[in-house]
């Protein structure tokens, strides 16, 4: 099987997690961010992740991929119950997390930004959504202050690194990719429970964190 992804994409991390945790081999194919032709040819629109199955058919939608691969593994279905506290935390962090990550991911030498045209494409597409990248970088201290407070709020909701609720579940599929992306941000005050969870889940799913934060 082949999985088309971007390194900075949390939806792609969702799909990668189930392969890593269930120890199912998959070929990762990194697309340039301005490559519209490949995803459109595969699924009719520009989006990732895209899984090309062994039979050559392609499927999109990260959670559909997670469920499909989990079924292939022969494991029991993932617990899909999401605690209201987790949903609430995700909604809050979603209001500002991209202001921190969007202007940084283009500076990290990621494969999807290997060309200037790919960087320009992403910047042009995302600036209307997230605002001016330079201004967001200038406001970093404000966003980090909010994040640090939200990490404190998340800490008591974490049962351990094997799973945020005690077992590997859909909560991990939703939360870990967001936290993992935020490791590209320098000077975040990671609490011990969140840091332990991040590094443990990284080992469990075989997805490295960003080790050169900006």
Determine the pLDDT at residue 32: 98
Taking only the tens place, the pLDDT of each residue in 119-143 is 999 999 999 999 999 999 999 999 9
Q: How would you write the pLDDT of the chain (214 residues) with one tens digit per residue?
A: 999 999 999 999 999 999 999 999 999 999 999 999 999 999 999 999 999 999 999 999 999 999 999 999 999 999 999 999 999 999 999 999 999 999 999 999 999 999 999 999 999 999 999 999 999 999 999 999 999 999 999 999 999 889 999 999 999 999 999 999 999 999 999 999 999 999 999 999 999 999 999 9
* Alpha-carbon dihedral angle through residues 13, 22, 53, 179, given to the nearest 10 degrees: -10
Taking only the tens place, the pLDDT of each residue in 44-79 is 999 999 999 999 999 999 999 999 999 999 999 999
Q: 162 burial class (0-12, 13-18, 19+ CB within 10 angstroms)?
A: middle
- Cα distances (Å, whole numbers) of residue 64 to 15, 33, 107, 168: 9, 22, 31, 17
Determine the pLDDT at residue 161: 87
Q: List the structure tokens of 35.
A: 């490559």
Sheet with 50-52, strands from edge to edge, namely 27-30, 2-5, 50-52, 58-59
**pTM of this prediction?**
0.96
Q: Which spans in 29-83 are helix H?
A: 37-43, 62-73
């Amino acid at each position: 099987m082949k999985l088309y992804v971007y390194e900075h994409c949390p939806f792609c991390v969702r799909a990668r997690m189930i392969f890593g945790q269930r120890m199912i081999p998959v070929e990762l194919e990194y697309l340039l961010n301005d490559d519209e032709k490949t995803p459109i040819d595969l699924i009719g629109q520009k989006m990732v992740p895209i899984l090309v199955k062994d039979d050559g058919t392609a499927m999109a939608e990260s959670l559909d991929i997670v469920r499909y691969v989990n079924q292939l593994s022969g494991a029991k279905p993932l617990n899909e119950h999401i605690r209201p506290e987790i949903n609430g935390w995700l909604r809050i962090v979603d209001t500002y997390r991209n202001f921190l990550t969007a202007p940084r991911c283009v500076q990290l030498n990621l494969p999807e930004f290997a060309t200037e045209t790919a960087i320009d494409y992403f910047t042009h597409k995302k600036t209307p959504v997230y605002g001016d990248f330079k201004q967001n970088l200038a406001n970093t201290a404000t966003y980090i202050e909010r994040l640090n407070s939200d990490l404190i709020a998340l800490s008591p909701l974490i049962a351990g690194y094997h799973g945020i609720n005690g077992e590997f579940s859909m909560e991990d599929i939703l939360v870990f990719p967001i936290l993992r992306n935020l490791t590209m941000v320098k000077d975040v005050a990671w609490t011990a429970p969140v840091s332990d969870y991040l590094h443990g889940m990284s080992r469990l799913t075989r997805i490295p964190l960003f080790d050169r934060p900006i």
